[in-house]
């Protein structure tokens, strides 16, 4: 497939939820989606089963789309929900869950991830006579499933055949009529977990969506597993068992909420460990450690523990400002960074400071912050970063799409330091990151920092180049 085309579509990260309950599901889904709001602020939707699938979706934050009346009117006990992140989204119809109505039944799908072969599959399905109304990847999955169901008659078997055909990253929650499923891709790229609460069972992207409704985490959904939940029980179907996994490391260092547990690891703990290692790899002579709020907080705490230098709240964040990352132009991005964080002058004046953040993408945020902290009177400004230099696009669901977007893609650390106007700059090493994550390197997706990907994405390299076929399923 044309790589340019791929790169334009790869701009999603989302949150998914599924509830099977003895009472109305919509309130539970609503609160869980709010807990997953950080995974997508562009749109959201809930679908419940009440004799048929009923949905409500909209643009914006979950709290703005649903009110009491709406939630009350959604009567089903089983349902799924989605928060959507895509800078290209413009119409509410594009929000998920995506509904496919056929004679064989109704399917609702909520997807976190990116399918890299959706276009190819869509063309094939079109030739077979399917008409695509929405143009999204989930429609492709829905029609594949229905076709396989029509030929095999068994839903789990049809799911297995469907998953065998799709490639990419996916954590789905799915409703087939009133049956509820959670599905995680065979490499476990995106997170998904299972929990139990007083009224039933829940599946969600992150454990914080369980916590908020008082559910206890049972476990992560395993890579390649399909879990069906009812209000009374759950059933597992392990459809694929690959030798290796490819957990996205960026979930741990940036995307997920710090209080989530993903694949048996506490996200906050990992960020702290990264910071601690960073202090050992790139020590600094300084008076205070300042976290870049909020993404650098846990890393900075770890850096402070590892270096013995006290932590200080040197930057104040204005919480009511929209994210700067997706601003359409560089100029706008620069202005909005200034609006978003402001130095606390009395904390930084005459101090040697270490600024700690989770990552640098274009470098806009950090450059602005270094300038501000200097203007506020800091005598030295050192920068430490909890992600190795980002050099390569993400094809599997993170909003980093072209190489030239990355400040590090064709520059040395020294060249970047100069651009940032920092006294020193240190990134965590890939080895340090892997050690902090406590996974084997072969079980991680590190594509954006190594340029080696966990699946075949021509013309990029595969992380197991010599044995590519082994990892196809
Ligand atoms: P930049 O200004 O482009 O270097 O962006 C870096 C800042 O954006 C850091 O503070 C990160 O926490 C945050 N960030 C990194 N990756 C992403 C992403 N894919 N989407 C939104 N924010 C991000």
CATH number of the domain enclosing 419: 3.40.50.2020
Q: Is 10 in the pocket of ligand 1 (CB under 6 A)?
A: no
Are 228 and 302 within one domain? Answer: no
Question: For residue 84, what is the domain's CATH number?
Answer: 3.60.20.10
**98-141 per-position pLDDT tens digit:** 999 988 889 999 999 999 999 999 999 999 999 888 888 899 99
Supply the pLDDT for residue 93. 66
Are 142 and 274 within one domain? Answer: no
Q: Is 363 in the pocket of ligand 1 (CB under 6 A)?
A: yes
In a domain, 74, yes or no: yes
Are 359 and 430 within one domain? Answer: yes
Domain boundary among 242, 269, 292: 242
Are 269 and 213 within one domain? Answer: no
Full 3-state SS string of 265-301: EEHHHHHHHHHHHHHHHCCCCCCEEEECCCCCHHHHH
**Distance of CA 412 from the midpoint of ligand 1 (Å):** 19
Atom of ligand 1 nearest to the CA of 295: 12
In a domain, 250, yes or no: no
In a domain, 468, yes or no: no
Angle ∠(162,191,1) on CA atoms, nearest 5: 50
Q: Is 365 in the pocket of ligand 1 (CB under 6 A)?
A: yes
Q: Structural domain tally of the chain? A: 2
Are 162 and 309 within one domain? Answer: no
Are 332 and 230 within one domain? Answer: no
Going residue by residue through the chain, which has 473 residues, state the pLDDT in tens, using 9 for 90 and above.
Answer: 333 333 334 345 799 999 999 999 999 999 999 999 999 888 999 999 999 999 999 988 999 999 999 999 999 999 999 999 875 545 666 799 999 998 888 999 999 999 999 999 999 999 999 988 888 889 999 999 999 999 988 999 999 999 999 999 999 999 999 999 999 999 999 999 999 999 999 999 999 999 999 999 999 999 999 999 999 999 999 999 999 999 999 999 999 999 999 999 999 999 999 999 999 999 999 999 999 999 999 999 999 999 999 999 999 998 887 555 555 566 666 667 777 899 999 999 999 999 999 999 999 999 999 999 999 999 999 999 999 999 999 999 877 768 888 999 999 999 999 999 999 999 999 999 999 999 999 999 999 999 999 998 888 888 876 544 444 43
Domain boundary among 242, 271, 290: 242
In a domain, 238, yes or no: yes
Domain boundary among 242, 276, 300: 242
Domain with 49 in it: 3-242
In a domain, 253, yes or no: no
Q: Give yes or no for a contact between 462 and 456, defined as CB atoms under 8 angstroms apart.
A: yes
In a domain, 366, yes or no: yes
> Which of the following is catalytic: 14, 248, 394, 445?
14
Residues β-bridged to residue 384: 356, 426
Are 304 and 236 within one domain? Answer: no
Are 223 and 322 within one domain? Answer: no
**256-272 per-position pLDDT tens digit:** 999 999 999 999 999 99
Paired sense of beta strands 261-262 and 247-248, if any: unpaired
Are 196 and 332 within one domain? Answer: no
**Distance of CA 341 from the midpoint of ligand 1 (Å):** 14
In a domain, 93, yes or no: yes
Which conformational region is residue 363 in: left (phi greater than 0), alpha (psi within -120 to 50 degrees), or beta? Answer: left
Q: Give yes or no for a contact between 194 and 218, defined as CB atoms under 8 angstroms apart.
A: yes
CB atoms within 10 A of CB 45: 26
Are 104 and 195 within one domain? Answer: yes
Of 265, 260, 259, 235, the C-alpha closest to 247 is 265
Are 265 and 162 within one domain? Answer: no
Are 315 and 421 within one domain? Answer: yes
In a domain, 146, yes or no: yes
């Amino acid at each position: 497939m044309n790589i340019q085309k791929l790169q334009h579509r790869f701009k999603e990260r989302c949150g998914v939820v599924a509830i099977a309950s003895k009472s109305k599901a919509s309130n539970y889904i609503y609160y869980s989606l709010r807990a997953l709001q950080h995974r997508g602020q562009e749109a959201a939707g809930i679908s419940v089963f009440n004799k048929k699938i009923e949905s409500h979706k909209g643009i914006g934050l979950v709290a703005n789309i649903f009110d009491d009346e709406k939630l009350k009117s959604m009567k089903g006990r089983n349902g799924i929900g989605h928060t959507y992140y895509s800078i290209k989204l413009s119409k509410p119809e594009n929000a998920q869950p995506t509904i496919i109505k056929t004679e064989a039944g109704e399917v609702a799908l909520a997807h976190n991830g990116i399918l890299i072969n959706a276009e190819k599959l869509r063309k094939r399905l079109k030739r077979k006579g399917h008409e695509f109304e929405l143009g999204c990847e989930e429609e492709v999955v829905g029609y594949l499933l229905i076709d396989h169901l029509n030929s095999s008659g068994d839903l789990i078997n049809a799911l297995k055949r469907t998953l065998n055909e799709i490639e990419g990253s996916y954590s789905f929650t799915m409703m087939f009529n009133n049956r509820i499923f959670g599905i995680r891709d065979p490499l476990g790229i995106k997170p998904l977990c299972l929990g139990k609460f007083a009224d039933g069972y829940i599946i969600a992207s992150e454990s914080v969506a369980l916590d908020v409704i008082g559910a206890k985490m049972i476990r992560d959904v395993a890579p390649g597993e399909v879990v069906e939940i009812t209000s009374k029980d759950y059933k597992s179907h392990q459809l694929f068992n690959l030798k290796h996994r490819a957990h996205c490391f960026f979930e741990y260092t940036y995307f997920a909420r710090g209080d989530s547990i993903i694949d048996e690891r506490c996200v906050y703990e990992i960020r702290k460990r990264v910071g601690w290692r960073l202090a050992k790899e790139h020590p600094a002579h300084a008076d205070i450690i300042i976290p870049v709020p909020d993404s650098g907080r846990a890393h900075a705490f770890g850096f402070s523990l590892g270096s013995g230098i006290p932590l200080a709240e040197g930057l104040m964040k204005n919480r009511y400002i929209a994210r700067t990352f997706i601003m359409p132009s560089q100029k706008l991005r620069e202005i909005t960074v200034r609006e978003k964080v402001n130095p606390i002058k009395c904390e930084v004046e005459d101090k040697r400071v270490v600024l700690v953040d989770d990552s640098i993408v274009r470098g806009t945020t950090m450059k602005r912050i270094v300038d501000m902290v200097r203007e506020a009177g800091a005598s030295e400004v050192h920068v430490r970063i909890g992600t190795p230099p980002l050099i390569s696009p993400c094809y599997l669901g993170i909003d980093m799409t072209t190489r030239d977007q990355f400040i590090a893609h064709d520059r040395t650390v020294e060249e970047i330091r100069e651009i940032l106007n920092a006294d020193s700059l240190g990134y965590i090493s890939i080895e340090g990151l892997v050690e902090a994550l406590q996974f084997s390197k072969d079980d991680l997706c590190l594509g954006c920092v190594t340029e080696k990907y966990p699946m075949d994405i021509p013309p990029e390299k595969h992380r197991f180049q010599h044995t590519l076929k082994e990892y196809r399923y």
